[in-house]
Copies of this chain bind each other. A is one copy, B any other.
Amino acid sequence: MEKTGAKSKENHRGISNQHIALKTPKGTRDHGPKATAIRQRLLDQVVRVFRKHGAVTIDTPVFELKEVLTGKYGDDSKLIYDLKDQGGELLALRYDLTVPFARYVSMNNISNIKRYHIAKVYRRDNPQITLGRYREFYQCDFDIAGMYDPMLPDAECVKIVCEILNEVGVGEFMVRLNHRKLLDGMLEVCGVPAKMFRAVCSSIDKLDKTPWDEVRREMIEQKGLDRESIDRISPYVAMKGGLDFFKQLTEDEQLKANANACEAFEDLRLLFEYCEIFKISNRISFDLSLARGLDYYTGVIYEAVLLNDDRNELSVGSVAGGGRYDNLVGMFNPKRKQQVPCVGVSIGVERLFSVLETRAVDQIRTNETELYVVSAHKGLHLRRLAILNQLWTAGFKAEHSYKRNPKLLAQLQHCEENQIPYAIILGEGELSRGVVKLRDISSRKEVEVTLDTLIEELRCRLSTEL
């Protein structure tokens, strides 16, 4: 009897404490008030720069028809999150903001637009939490679509990257720069067959993290490239530098004779000229080993990297990247006569967040409360509410304890812990004389202020923009 009883009790407990895994899905996380505050500040800075350059913003659904995403991401398509077939259309979560942008431009027959879009994207990748790589993360894209003269929009994108990184203040950085057609030309003159270009490029792209010998072995063993071509590629991808190096490369006899390389040289010559005027050419590292993974680039490509300044900081690698992609919009509407060429840049806000989070001091405020209305003793909660109502009406950010009779010390402690600048302290004695105490929380100095002049006094002190 007893045994059975014990067992049934156990079962019962098992049911009532029904186990729900209290976690967010794998590779995702919540952002609490502090993280959100840091993020919001960063995004505000980024948006201010986008706005300075005349951008509008748009919003697209978090999921797209599955077929919109199909065939856009090569091998990485396996990382797309599909929605369950619950009847109706087949849907998938967006993988980036560029394909939805191209779909939007094509669907609405837009011939030119300059827009930014900040939103979350989804990749069913193996999350590497320690490296700050998640399955849900923000992208922050700026793109210029339209038929314009060569390199004018492209140079502005590079300028924007520099403005943002300066503004955010994450230390020194460089912008690595290359051109898809120069890559093609280089591979041509090195004797690489055209059908192997993309595969070889994806190997070359690893050179920023992987030594040449390893990349060389990958090209031979996995990509099946002949040793002779590889030996010819080797000196090119080892080279990088500024304008001087670029000029030197344009004298390379083999490249000079290659049509693709010449087109790229013409673009890059203009780009260097414009970057000189924008006073950012010192940031630019022309680098033949930069290839970038995505298939859709057709022209200039670039990537910003933070320079380690010996302060032993998190090495976050690239913090922005982009380039020209002239054919993506056309893929959605092959019948349309006029192409819509595009160039853009994606700011790596997640990586910037992690740099800023490691630096962020503890004292980050998560709310903006300016005033805390305090009861000095019991029985004053209605007076507190009346004062609060006046403050809100006047536009102040004001709070109180949601207790009828909170302890004075607890209220003042709350102000100190939350860096609220002022407390307004109510007491029966003062109120009968028509005054309250105004306490400066950091200095702990108190002055009496008459209720008549309270709002005016506070406006002065807080110079509220009303």
Q: How many residues of A contact B (CB 8 A)?
A: 97
Is the CB–CB distance between B56 and A366 below 8 Å? Answer: yes
**How far is the CB of A402 from the nearest CB of chain B, in Å?**
4
CB distance from A278 to the nearest CB of B (A): 5
Closest to A61 in B: B28
> Which listed residue (B88, B120, B395) contacts A26, Cβ 8 A?
B88
Chain B residues with CB under 8 A of A54: 367-369, 397-399
CA distance A278 to B144 in the complex (A): 49
**Given A28-B61, A84-B82, A152-B381: A52 touches B398 (CB 8 Å cut-off):** yes
Q: Which residues of B contact A108 (CB under 8 A)?
A: 30, 32
Cα–Cα, bound, A385→B271 (Å): 12
Query: Do B385 and A136 have beta carbons less than 8 Å apart?
Result: no
A170 at the interface (CB under 8 A from B): no
| Contact, CB under 8 Å: B36 / A59 | yes
Given B65, B81, B155, B334, which contacts A23 in the complex, CB threshold below 8 Å? B65
A62 within 8 A of B: yes
Contact with B along A398-435 (1 / 0, CB 8 A): 11001110000000000000000000000000000000
Knowing A17-B334, A392-B159, A395-B52, say if A146 contacts B65 (CB, 8 Å).
no
| Interchain CB contact (< 8 A) of A25 among B25, B37, B55, B61 | B61
Of A37, A113, A366, most B-chain CB atoms within 10 Å: A366
A16 cross-chain contacts in B, Cβ below 8 A: 334
A367 pairs with B30, CB closer than 8 A: no
A151 to chain B, nearest CB (A): 9
Q: Does A89 lie at the interface of the complex (its beta carbon under 8 Å from any beta carbon of B)?
A: yes
A103 CB contacts on chain B under 8 angstroms:
22
